[in-house]
Each structure stands twice: as structure tokens, then as C-alpha cells.
Chain A
Amino acid sequence: NAGVTQTPKFQVLKTGQSMTLQCAQDMNHEYMSWYRQDPGMGLRLIHYSVGAGITDQGEVPNGYNVSRSTTEDFPLRLLSAAPSQTSVYFCASSSPRSEAFFGQGTRLTVV
């Protein structure tokens, strides 16, 4: 049982480049979310989805796009990477009756 799978694990981007962080879950959870974690801070919510075709903004959505075309996948797109987006990104999935399960994270550096 894979749970929540994130790819890639590490990524270095140049300022202005775009990329997509992938997230997939195999637990048939309705909810999926993206968080970023910066040093000395807790996780902050970027975007989330309560079901296929439905997305909404979290606390820090600027510079990121998401879509949810299937229940299993929830990719996070960086449109034009900036050094301020250097962070560790976590994807999570859950249902109303379950805890949230997190992926292993993607460590992104923007130079």
C-alpha cells in the first residue's frame, strides 16, 4: 500500500523556470492538499481540493496553481519560480473520517 507518493524528492530550479510537483494517493481519499514547510515554521497550506474538479486556495497560494482531474492525482504547478519558493513541499490526503496522510516531501531550491 503506497499511500501518498510525491515526485521528485529533490529539485533545483533557476529563477523564472516552471515545473510541476506530482502527488498521487491510492487510498481513494476525497481530500488532497499541498503544504510548504520553511525552517522554524509549521506547515502552511497552499491549495487544497475536496474532490475531483474542485480546488481552493489556502494560506499561501500566490505563485502556485493546482488542478484535480482525478481522485488520485493532485499536481502543484510553479508558474515562474522565485527564490522565496525555496522550501519543502508536502502533499497530503484524507477523508472526513480519517487522519491526513502525508507524502515524503519534495525539497525545492530556487537559485
Chain B
Amino acid sequence: GESVGLHLPTLSVQEGDNSIINCAYSNSASDYFIWYKQESGKGPQFIIDIRSNMDKRQGQRVTVLLNKTVKHLSLQIAATQPGDSAVYFCAEKGGSGYSTLTFGKGTMLLVSP
């Protein structure tokens, strides 16, 4: 079936570096994507979303880029901090009325001081 997947299972960076987490999706009809952060022992937390009518969206220290041509999106975290260490998931919002999420497998981000 359709799926949302990630390229790298683990990303290790130094504090202060910029981090880039990638995600590929297979359903060309997908039009609503969300990035979630999951810390150990907790539920996923919303970071940022993007719809297919946009190529880029910026939040606080985070930027999501969407390339519909190659069905790829990325999450960029500027000036990565130890508190950013977590697993990051991309997810596609779908279903009737955008009622469900299809998640990728996740990338673990490890930030060293």
C-alpha cells in the first residue's frame, strides 16, 4: 500500500549544527504533511505542517521543504540543541476529512554537547 518512509534511521550532530531529516512518500495524491517529534516515553508532538500548495514553511528554528516532483520532504532544524534529541516522524494526513495519519518509520536525532 501507500507509505511514508525515511532515508536515515539515525542522525548524529554537534550542538549548534544545522540538522536535516529527510522523508520520502509514495502517494502522489498526498497533499498534507506533518512532522512530529517524539521524546522517549512520550507521545508524538506536532512540530510543523505543510500543504501541497506550498514548497516551504518556516517555524521557530524549523523549516519544512516539500518537493512534489520527487515526492520528498525534509525538516531542517537550525542551531540544533541537546533538547532536540528525539525521534522525528513525517506523517501524511489523509482519510475522510483528514481524519487519519500515516507515519514513516522515524529518524532518531542525537545531539552532542
Q: With A50-B97, A96-B97 in contact, is A40–B42 under 8 Å at CB?
A: no
Q: Are B99 and A31 in contact (CB under 8 A)?
A: yes
8 Å CB contacts to B: which residues of A4-63? 4, 30-31, 33, 35, 40-45, 48, 50, 58-59
Count A-B pairs with CB separation below 8 Å: 64
For residue B46, which residues in chain A have a CB less than 8 angstroms away from its CB? 99-101
Q: With A42-B105, A42-B106, A43-B89 in contact, is A50–B99 under 8 Å at CB?
A: yes
Shortest Cβ gap from A100 to chain B (Å)? 6
For residue A101, which residues in chain B have a CB less than 8 angstroms away from its CB? 46
For residue B97, which residues in chain A have a CB less than 8 angstroms away from its CB? 30-31, 50, 96
The chain B residue sitting closest to A43, CB to CB, is B103
Shortest Cβ gap from A110 to chain B (Å)? 20
8 Å CB contacts to A: which residues of B38-94? 41-46, 49, 89, 91, 93
Say yes or no: is A74 at the interface (Cβ < 8 Å to chain B): no
Chain A 45-89 against B: per-residue CB contact (8 Å), 1 yes, 0 no? Answer: 100101000000011000000000000000000000000000000
Starting from the known contacts A30-B99, A105-B42, 16 additional A-B residue pairs (CB-CB under 8 Å) come to A31-B97, A31-B99, A42-B4, A42-B103, A42-B104, A42-B106, A44-B103, A48-B99, A96-B97, A99-B49, A100-B34, A100-B44, A100-B93, A102-B43, A103-B43, A104-B43
Q: List residues of chain B with CB under 8 Å of any chain A CB.
A: 1, 4, 34, 41-46, 49, 89, 91, 93, 95-106
What are 29 A-B residue pairs whose CB atoms fall within 8 Å in the complex? Answer: A30-B97, A30-B99, A31-B99, A33-B101, A35-B101, A41-B105, A41-B106, A43-B44, A43-B89, A43-B103, A44-B103, A45-B100, A48-B100, A50-B96, A50-B97, A58-B100, A59-B1, A94-B99, A96-B98, A99-B46, A99-B49, A100-B44, A101-B46, A102-B43, A102-B44, A102-B45, A104-B41, A104-B43, A105-B43
